[in-house]
Each structure stands twice: as C-alpha cells, then as structure tokens.
Structure 1
Amino acid sequence: MQVFETQTMEEMFEGLKISPAYKKYSEHNPVMIQRYGADPYALVYEGRVYLYMTGDDPVFDEKGDAKENTYSNINTINVVSSEDLVNWTDHGTIYAASVTGAAKWGANSWAPAAAYKNIDGKDKFFLYFANNGNGIAVLTADSPVGPFTDPINGPLISRETPNCAEVTWLFDPAVLMDDDGNAYLYVGGGVPSPEKASNPGTARVVKLGEDMISLDGDPLPIENVAYLFEDSGINKIGDKYYYSYCSNFSMTPEAEKERGFEQGEIITLVSDSPMGPFEHFSPVLKNPEVFFGLGGNNHHCMFEFKDQWYITYHSRILEKEKGYLGGYRSTNIDVLEIKDNAPAVSKGTKTGVKQVSYLNPYDEVSAVTMSNSSGIDTVQYGEEAIKCGSGDMVVTGISDGSWISVTGADFGNSDPFEISLKYKSRGTGAVRVSLDSPEGDVLAYIPIEDTDNEIEDTFVALEKRPGGVHDIFFTFVGKDYDLITWRFIK
C-alpha cells in the first residue's frame, strides 16, 4: 500500500475549478460526451448493448469556428457498449474506410448497421456501412468490437448491383436476423426529383446469403414508402415486420395533415413478410428539432433489451452545449412505447432512460466506462487497438479539474476499505474519488507518480467506507497520465 500525507492531497484540490459538464449529472443523453457519434445502430449481444455510430469529426477554420459538417471526411465508426444503458464503455473508433481503414477501396463510412450469426460453431460479427451515397460495405470480426476486416475487398452492394443504379442515395443499411436464421438487408433513400417526393421509390430490400457477406438474389424495391428521405430501420415484433425510415423535407402542411406525419419524422410500415409488401403503420419519433430546438436529418434504430423497447437516435444537443453549431451529431436513447405489440411513440429527452442494473464497483472496471465526463479524451491502448482503432482504451488528455463519473454503483452492505487504480504516467498529479458529485464526500485521494509510462497498480485506503448505491466521481489534477482500470476492495 502506498503511503502519503492526506493534507498534501487535499491542498492539491483546494480552489480547483471543475471542468464544465455538457450534460447534467442526472442526465443520460447524449450517451457519449468524449466525441461525437451519429446514425446509431444497436446490437444486443450477451447481456450488453453495443452502439455503432458514424464518426462525426468536427472541422474548424483558421479562426477556430466550426465548419458545417459535410460528412466527406468521415471514414471511422465509433463503438460503445453498456449492460445498464447509463454507463457506457468506450471501445474506440473502428478504422472502417479509406487507405487507413479495413475497406481501403471506399472513401467513407456512414450509417453503420451490425449483426451477428453463429457460423461453424462460432459467433461472427458483421458491420455494414455506406460508402457515402454509392454503395454498401461489409466488415467481419470475431468480436463485437473488432478487429474488423474486409472479407470481400469490395462493395457488397454497388450501382452495378441489379435494381440499384437508379437509387438516389445507395446508403443507410439496416439488417434483420429473422427467427428462422435468414437475414435481410435494407438500403436506400433520396428523392430523384421534386415530382417524386411523395413516393421516391428508392428503398430496397435483399436477402443475404448464408455467409452474411453475399446476396441471395437481387435487391427489390420496397413499394409505397411515402415521402421517403433516408434511414432504413427494421424490426420484428411478435409476428409482424416493421420497416422504418425518416420522412423527407418536401412535405407541405397539407400533405402532413393528409398523411398523419410530419417532415423529418421517423415513420413505420408493417408487413407479414420481411420483404413486404409493407403498408403504412404509424409515426414513432418526431424530428429532434421538436424536442431540442435544433433539427436536421433524423436517424434511428429501435431495439429490445431486457424486456423493454428503446429507440436510439442522434441530436445536436452536445454541439449546442459546447457553443458551436456545425451539424455535428451525438447519440441519445429513449424509451419506445409499445401498444398492442407494435411500436407506438417515443419522446426525445435529455434525461434519457433509467438504469436497468447497478454497476458492481468490486469488479475491475475499465476507466473508459463512464456515464459522464468533462475535459478528458480516450485513446487506443495496446498494439491491436492502435492498429485497428477499436478494442482496449484508456482515459487520457487529463488536466486540472477534468473528471469522469459512473452512475449507480452498488456497494451493498459490504465494507470496502481500499481502492485500486491502474494507470501509466509520464507526469504527476492526483485523483480525488468522491460520491455523487466532484465535490461530494471524499472516499480517497490517489497520488499519481511518473512511471515512465509503465503500468502502476496503486492501492489506497478509503477515508470513508460507502454503502448502498452511489454515483462515483474521479476528479483530476496534473497531466500526462492515463487511467486504465479501477476497483474497490472489500
């Protein structure tokens, strides 16, 4: 156990200015603060929800003002996961496209969709994404966080694919794993011309091959998708199939009244078959502008987790809080109401969803598992993650007053007496561990020494022994050190 003077640690934090929070401590949206993530898609696997997101990356001019997001520089996919929908583990940034990515033939990686399938006795993971508006790529991995590789070294769907050359925007994939083991891919969007705005005819569906990286037949049009804009979604609820999409921005007030939905809203269609025919069903989520005052494209994914349905979507609330507007999106999750075994309605909120299980503070917790943070960054850790972009991550970019937190840690009736912090350092500093806020009851002060970037696992006695359920905050002074894991010891 390391010995230090408590008073010295306390003095290091006196008068410390806490880095501002971009969401309230009680808010769960957006799910990720340390970077942007758009077009979210959810994969549920072994008791965790994995979110895959377009890697929005702000570009600034010489004055430091954010340029408008053109999406042209996006070639990565962010991935995070959670078992409680509140504390999210950062798994990094998948290098998906361009010369630095897995799909070197493609320029961009937009709007990912993910699935897994047991093939030859082993679970395999598949990540589909759009090469801008001109085709669909597929990557594979043995883990939901990668490393991902390109198994076909080219597009799965391109403009040479039958029935796809005329699709205005050949993008925004969604994938359905049906109960019988068959899989289907849904793509498309865009309005070919103003006179076709009410029925663009640009949605497609195709059955995937058994290997999930080939097509079993030609893509077919999905008929009568009223005022289609983009953003395919697909879900099976009960014995019905629900195709969902974002309506376009050519709707007149008269059309909105006639059709019963608004422009930029998420709409569902229903069918008895995964390939249709589909019929109009119901709107489920209005444009984020309705809830947050800033709009844009509306991109979603509906998913079920622990017997509750949710909808994940993006908004612009993070960039608004940061004080610049360039169309950079961040991911939210809210409850999706189900009525009569069908998707009904959802409401966008900053509060987000309730925590579905408590975090165990006696497990070794990755430091990049966070419900909130400010003034920090995360970076790949280890040869594999550095090469591929996703995998193990550490908290870095630490400075005076920066912090991270987890929500709902259950100490139970145990009597923890120590905390272990695993870190590596090129500088010095300290970490204050507190309950429920950065200035809350202090559990421990942990000194950070220069380890020449070697890993140090330090153990510090607790000043206060917590019980029950609490949020835990880690507040930092100093710089040039990275946090790897932490755990309480009882």
Structure 2
Amino acid sequence: MAPLVAVALALSFIVRSSVVASPHLRRQTTTIISTGNPILADGFIYSADPAPIVIDETVYILSGRDGAGATENGFIMNEWKSFEAQNPDLSGGTAYAGQVVQGADGKFYMYAPVTQANSGASDPFAIGVAVSSDILGPFTDARSSGPIISQGVPSPGNTIQNIDPTVLVDTDGRVFIYFGTFGQLLGYELESDMITIKGAVTKVNSLTGYFEAPWLMKLVSTYYMLYAAKNAGGSSPCTPTSHHACIAYGTASGPLGPRTFRGIVLDIVSSTTSHPGVYQLGNEWFITYHTRDAVGGTHFRRSIAFDKLTWDDTTSPPSILTVVQTHRPASANEPTRNIALCATPSSTNATPIQYWIKAINDERVEANPLPPDYWCSYAAEQSPETTVEVNGATMAFFADQPTGSNIGVPPPASWKLEYLMSAGSWTAVSVTSSGAYPTNVTDSPEEVSFQTVSTTSLRAILMISGWGGQFGGVGIKEWAALAPTTSSYKDLKAFAKVFYF
C-alpha cells in the first residue's frame, strides 16, 4: 500500500536608462515615467541587483539586465543599465551585481564581476574595475593587467565565487571592498588609486544567515553591512524556504569589523533572490531592491523597486526599522469562483524546507517552477471561522518523473477530495464530473465537479506513486476550490481562514 499524503485548504518616477554592454559603455537613452514599484513594470526590460549613488541631488542606479526567457531557470545577464532619476516620488550572461562609486579624484569607478578569459581557476568569475569622468560613462579599464580580485589575485588567491562587490569610500579617504556569495564574505582595503589591494584579507563569519549581496555603508561612526540572508528553517526570522532570501544587516565600529548581527531590514520579496542598495537624498533614506512583480516577471526576470528606509535613533547604534514594501496600484480583481485565494494553507505532512505551502493558492501556475513555486512532499524519496459552499476544484500537479515512478516527483497514483461535516467527520464528496480525479500533468487542469456542500474545510488525499517499497514525492503547483457562483475578490476576503491545508 502506498503512503498517503493529505493536504487541506483553509478558506512618478522619471527614469533615464543607459545600456552598458561592457566596461566600455555604449550610451542608449530611454525616458520612462513610472508610477510605483517596480519602477519598470510593463515587461519592457527587466533589471536586477540595484546599486544606487547620489550625485548633485540626482539618483543613479546601476543594475544588471535580466535577459532570461519566460521559462528559463537561469541567469542570463549580458549588460548593465544605469537609471537616472531626479526627485523620485514614492507616492504612486554574467553582468552580475556591480557598483559605481566616486573616488577622491572625482572620477567614477565601476566594480563589476566579469568572467575572466583564459582562466585556469575552478571558477572564472573575477572583479574588474572600469573608470570614467562621467557617471554615465564611457567607462574604460582602470587596470590593464586584469582584474583586481580573482581566485588567483591577490596571491595566494581564494576558492570562492568572486561576485557582488560593494565598495565604500570612507570620510577619511580610505577605500574598502567586500565581495562573495554562497555564504562566503571577504573584504580588503584598497589603496587610494582605487584598484590596488592593501593589506590582508578580512573574512566575515559573524553575520547570521549571510548568503550574498553585501552592501557596505556608514552612518556617523558606525559601519552597516546589509546582505541577503538565507538561514531558512522553522526558527528563521524571515526565510521560509531554502530558496528565499530576505535582507538582514550587521554593524561594526570599524570598516573591517568585527561585525554584530542586528536584525532584518526587508522581508522576502516575490523573487527568490533579493539584493539591497541604500542611498540618502536630503534628509531621507531609501533602499533599492528587486522583485518579479513586473508583467512577465520570473525569478530570473526581475525588476528594480525602492522604498523608504527609516531608523530608530533611540538605540545605539541607530537600528534600521523593517522596511514596508510598497506596490503600484493593482487592477481590480475579476469575479471568481475560487475561494482558495483567501485561504490560509497548511499541511498535515512535513514540508521539506525547499518547498512552500503558500504556493498552492497564489494563482500562479509556473511553466518551469522553482521549488518555492509549488508544494511537495519530496524529501529524498520518501480552525474554521465560517462555512462556505463549494462544488468544484482544480489541481495543477508538478512532476519531474513519469507516471508510476518510485523516485523524484511523479504524478500521484490517484487522489480524492473530502469535506468536513458539521459533526466533525470527514466525508468524500460526491463527484459528478465524468473524468473524476485526473492525474495528468497540465497547467490548465480539468475541473473536478461534485454536488454542492456547505463546509468549513476541504482536503485532498493523494496516493503516492511508487513500487518495491520505494515511493516518490507529490507536488502541487496550484489548487483552486470553486464556489457555485462567482464573487468579487472583496467578498471572498470574508472567507479568509475558512479552509486549511
């Protein structure tokens, strides 16, 4: 007998952009008017890893351009873009994260991760520097002899992936660079020429959950390090799955540490990655980051957003308050039968840390999902407030193995629906659809129709596929619980917490 898996459902920003095709910038200007987050929301271009800088009361944001296709799960970033904005208003290949800073000589230095040609290193990513007399370029190589940091430079080198540089020109003229990903964060001081390593490497291991995307800044005499954190798990303050990242921070009294973890700056966003950049304009502070909220956005087609960053000056040092994400006005929701949209999902089965139970009622059915885009039982093979009426359901399955497989995530062998009676017992629904419970994998599943029932809870029982005493997992991209008639989204909100998974 195959094991059962039970799940139940509780029911006016003006931007000019310039394309940087390489460290030798070619300027190509477009004027865009934006009304909210993300800044560019129509899918015209996608941009990620924002690095802001303020010059003469004008904000410039360097970003990488996401070029992945709609169903590609991989970073395709072949150029950088620069966004320019005056008085931004919050009312309304391998071009990975880089940063532009202004040196003491008045020139602008762009620190960028590049794929080093003819590299014998196990990972060819290196950090190069380009320089320009203009914030928008053109930029030329600042060091003819190659990158300033790689797995071989400076000697004896390192074994990490050298990306995500962040650079601070301190008030005393000293210059510092930090970089690294996959839990590794290294730092150096630079000479005043902005391109020569000075002193020994600093290894940072005191920032809880550090994953990547460091951002170094200074407030008065305190050095703040913001970063993407991925300490997922039940005790995590912000990352529900191992694929999500939030923004956390630590502080130090000196530019090279030691650092103390302080807390969370920005909760998870719609994209699995998150990348901070902070700037001050007048007396106000802002944080830039990216999301997948633009039209056609995916985890690899991201778009820049920004929000206010505020401080608690009653603490020492001043602490950063958790940022409140803002979004552009959403279009009105169409009437729908799907009451699952306002439910609170949960699972009676343990959910492996890479999957997310909230994915099953977010109205997203991904053609090529990442693990947080669906709920799954795969782990290396192996209370109501009111009543509602339902008479149908659809379930979109995820599978990476064929029907009947005993490894990976195949379609379920079978499944059925039950509803909770007022007496507290679960009873099978009376199916009226001819196809009963389809198990085929499709992003447009057939509706399972049944006689209308009034209930506080609806659950699905899935029979796992497998044989020989070994069974695969089962994955669900989306589950819709359908009422007999359509209702407005506003009316559906009255059903919140009605059903549970």
TM-score range, shorter chain: 0.5 to 0.7
Given candidates 74, 77, 94, the residue that maps to 1:74 is 77
**Does the CA contact (< 8 Å) of 2:244 and 2:273 recur in 1?**
no
Q: Closer, same or farther in 2 for the Cα pair 1:164/1:305, shift >3 Å?
A: farther
Matched, 1:157 2:152: no
Q: 1:87-166 to 2 correspondence within 5 Å?
A: 108-119=94-105, 123-131=106-114, 134-153=125-144, 154-162=146-154, 165-166=157-158
Q: Mark the CA change 1:238 to 1:74 in structure 2 (over 3 Å): closer, same or farther.
A: same
Unmatched segments (≥5 aa) in structure 1: 1-22, 60-65, 88-106, 191-199, 289-293, 353-490
Match of 1:179 in 2: 171
**Superposition RMSD on alpha carbons, in Å?**
2.9
Cα deviation digits, residues 215-249 of structure 1 (max 9, x gap): 1223220132222111011111121111111112x
Letter aligned with residue 317 of structure 1: D
- 8 Å contact from structure 2 (residues 50, 63) kept in 1: yes
In the TM superposition, what is the alpha-carbon distance from 1:68 to its structure 2 partner?
Answer: 1.6
Contact 1:67 1:326 in 2 (8 A): no
The question of 1:30 aligning with 2:39 is answered yes
* Deviation of 1:332 (Å): 0.4
Q: Counterpart in 2 of 1:348? A: 325
* 1:143 partner amino acid: D
CA contact (8 A) 1:42 1:50 kept: yes
How many aligned positions are there? 281
SS at 2:191 equivalent: coil
CA distance 1:312–1:326, shift in 2 (3 Å): closer
Query: Counterpart of 1:51?
Result: 61
Question: Hey, what does 1:393 align to over in structure 2?
Answer: none
SS at match of 2:100: strand
Q: Deviations over 1:427-446 (max 9, x none)?
A: xxxxxxxxxxxxxxxxxxxx
Counterpart in the other structure of 1:217:
199
Aligned-pair distance for 1:212?
0.8
User: For the residues of structure 2 that align with 1:116 and 1:184, how far apart are their CA atoms?
Assistant: 13
Q: CA separation of 1:326/1:243 partners in 2, compared to 1, >3 Å: closer, same or farther?
A: closer
Residue 312 in 1 paired to residue 285 in 2?
no
**TM-score normalized with structure 1 length:** 0.53
Q: Note if 1:234 corresponds to 2:219.
A: no
* Post-superposition offset of 1:28: 4.8
Q: The residue matched to 1:37 in structure 2 has which SS?
A: strand
| 2:187 aligned to which of 205, 213, 227 | 205
d(CA) in 2 for partners of 1:32, 1:124: 33
Deviation, 1:86, is: 4.4
Match for residue 333 of structure 1 among 297, 306, 309 = 306
In structure 2, the partner of 1:9 is none
8 A contact 1:256–1:263 mirrored in 2: no
Instruction: Answer with 1 or 2: which has the greater Rg.
Output: 2
Change beyond 3 A, Cα 1:253–1:305: same
For 1:68 and 1:229, the matched residues in 2 are separated by 23
Q: Contact between 2:287 and 2:308, CA under 8 Å: does it hold in 1?
A: yes
- Residue 253 (str. 1) matches residue 234 (str. 2): yes
Quick check: 2:101–2:108 contact (8 Å CA) kept in 1?
yes
* Equivalent residue letter for 2:180: G
The residue aligned with 2:271 is 295
CA contact (8 A) 1:315 1:332 kept: yes
Is 2:34–2:40's contact at 8 Å kept on the other side of the alignment?
no
Deviation of 1:118 after TM superposition, in Å, equals 3.5
Give CA deviations for 1:21-74 in whole Å, capped at 9, x if unaligned: xx9974353257541110000011111110000111233xxxxxx232522x42
Q: Which residue of structure 2 lines up, in the alignment, with residue 41 of structure 1?
A: 51
TM-score by length of 2: 0.52
CA spacing shift, 1:165–1:25, aligned 2, 3 Å: closer
